[in-house]
A and B are shown apart, each in its own frame.
Chain A
Amino acid sequence: MDMNFNQHISQQFNADLQDIRNQMLAMGGLVQRQVADSIEAICTGNTSSADKIIQREDDVDAMEINIDRECTHILVRRQPAASDLRMVLAVSRVVRDLERMGDEAAKIAIHALEVANGNQAGSKMCNQSIRHMGNAVIEMISEALDAFARHDIEGAINVVRSDKMVDEQYASAIRELSTYMMEDPRSIGQAINILWILRAIERIGDHARNICEQVIYLVSGADVRHSSLSEMEEQAQIDPQANT
């Protein structure tokens, strides 16, 4: 007799786990859109788009609470173990990172409004860097969610590699921003807005990396939080199913 171990005996348990995973991916899609729109708002100065991002932030918060409540219900009702437990814990942790990404996107939108409403001096500072870093983190969110959906450790590690590049771009943009401020002190007010925006984009990259740490935990059981990239690569090789 062959048995399919993908399915629980309880169909409802299957459905519950599938549901939190799908809801988390849907939340990820919304957050990705929030981030993309916020980058667009700052780069184009489109303030109507910025207002919408700030309004949609409430939806992101509501999704976090809702998914976390579902995770709690599964823990109470099913007492999940092994890969099921890791799925529930990972989803619960990932939605927190997604919610924080949503916060950062809203911050970018608020600063985009301030930049648009402020004086023109320096309003286009670091526009290239913002565009570059913004596109990189949008791609990272997409790849992190794909890695989660596909249980893809290699894909997750690629995102961690990308995060290192975003960190380097951030450091370089800050240096660029300093030169503007030194050249023209009138631009300092705007520069501070741009600084917050760059910082928010860099943080979004960190949260995408956190999601990927949860992908590695979900698939292999290895807890790679606070590990370096090389440690992560090494630990991710630990595959509990490898010797069966």
Chain B
Amino acid sequence: MSTSMQHIENHITTGIPLSQNPKLAARNVDVFYGDKQAIFDVSLDIGANEVIALIGPSGCGKSTFLRTLNRMNDTIDICKIKGEILLDDENIYGADVDTVPLRARVGMVFQKPNPFPKSIYDNVAYGPRIHGLAQSRVELDETVEKSLQRAGLWNEVKDRLHAPGTGLSGGQQQRLCIARTIAVDPEVILMDEPCSALDPIATAKIEELIDELREKYTIAIVTHSMQQAARVSQRTAYFHLGQLIEVNPTKQVFTTPQHELTEAYITGRFG
């Protein structure tokens, strides 16, 4: 089997890119960094309360695509986006959309844990404070406790809430960042390689958490670990050179992928 590593002309995504109950819907999305096109005509639904894994070799556009979903790319001047991203049928790139509440609705967890140089409590309380989500100190305390509990961190930090967040271990810091994300009651959580800086035990805790969070949130996760994609997601999307090659149920992708590029990537024939 030999195939070209060039773009596939007139490519139509293999599999099932659309969902019956989409929370987020990307339609014909192109992304450009200056003259260079990074994403080519991607249409993909992320269904409510599903975990979708975005996989592909380095530079395939999966993180770029993830960052379009809450307009994180707006911070890059040369980045231009065509197409639509619909959150509950509303285009998030509409002229009147304010990105601050948008990013509360569509939260993000990054590769490297990035707690603020503040106490554990203040890290989690930061979002609710700036978005005015808590009316009183008691309410704020409740939000902090609930978020830390949902992130599976409460029992480990309840006796030192005012210690600096940066003093926690890497895995705890990442769960603190997840607590900070869910403190503002988002609808979607985007995760960009959330476990790549963590050891296997911390990774297992985050994966367990992702499974629990799915009951309440919709999650899109970019990962380089195919085993992680296989463990945590219900659907898997494979990106290649900025094109969305295949989207299918995760079980199918890892046993009988439909597209030969997906097969070649997940079996370690390139990447």
Interface of A toward B, CB cutoff 8 Å = 1-10, 13, 78-86, 220-221, 240-241, 243-244
Which bracket fits the contact residues of B? 20 to 34
Q: How far is the CA of A86 from the CA of B252 in the complex (A)?
A: 12
Q: Is the CB of A82 within 8 A of B266?
A: yes
**Given A83-B263, A244-B258, A244-B259, does the pair A5, B5 have CB atoms closer than 8 Å?**
no
When C-beta atoms are compared, the residue in chain B nearest to A85 turns out to be: B255
Interface of B is mostly: mixed
From A9, A79, A81, A86, contact of B270 by CB (8 A): A9
Q: Does residue B264 face the partner (Cβ distance < 8 Å to A)?
A: yes
Give B95-151 interface residues, CB cut-off 8 Å to A: none
Query: Cβ of A84 and Cβ of B267 under 8 Å apart?
Result: yes
Given A7-B269, A244-B258, residue A81 in contact with residue B3 (CB < 8 A): no
- B270 with A241: CB separation less than 8 A: no
Q: Are A4's CB and B1's CB within 8 A?
A: yes
Q: What residues of B have a CB within 8 angstroms of the CB of A244 in the complex? A: 14, 258-261
Please report the C-alpha to C-alpha distance between residue A78 and residue B269 in the assembled complex, in whole angstroms: 13
Closest A residue to B270 using CB positions: A3
User: Are A240 and B227 in contact, CB atoms less than 8 angstroms apart?
Assistant: no
Check B268 for interface membership: any CB of A closer than 8 A: yes
A78 to B227, CA, bound (A): 11
Could you tell me which B residues sit within 8 Å of A by CB distance?
1-6, 14, 226-227, 230, 254-264, 266-271
**15 A–B contacts, CB within 8 A, in A order:** A1-B4, A2-B2, A5-B2, A6-B2, A7-B269, A8-B269, A79-B227, A80-B267, A81-B266, A82-B254, A82-B267, A86-B256, A240-B257, A241-B260, A243-B14
Cβ of A1 and Cβ of B5 under 8 Å apart?
yes
List chain B residues, Cβ under 8 A from A241: 258, 260, 263
A3 touches B5 (CB 8 A): yes
Nearest-neighbour CB distance to chain B for A142, whole angstroms, equals 27
Closest 10 CB pairs of A and B: A221-B256, A5-B264, A5-B1, A81-B266, A1-B5, A5-B269, A81-B254, A244-B259, A240-B256, A84-B267
Q: Tell me whether B3 and A5 are in contact (CB under 8 A).
A: yes
Question: How far in angstroms is the closest Cβ of chain B from A219?
Answer: 10
A6–B264 Cα distance when bound, in Å, is 8
- With A79-B227, A240-B256, A244-B14 as given contacts, are A2 and B266 in contact (CB-CB < 8 Å)? no
Contacts known (A86-B255, A244-B258); A2 close to B5, Cβ less than 8 A? yes
A13 touches B268 (CB 8 A): yes
- Give A10 to B262 CA distance when docked, in angstroms: 17
Residues in A with CB closer than 8 Å to B262 are 82
12 further interface pairs, Cβ-Cβ under 8 Å (given A81-B267, A84-B267): A1-B4, A3-B3, A3-B269, A5-B264, A6-B2, A9-B269, A79-B226, A81-B226, A86-B256, A240-B256, A243-B258, A244-B14
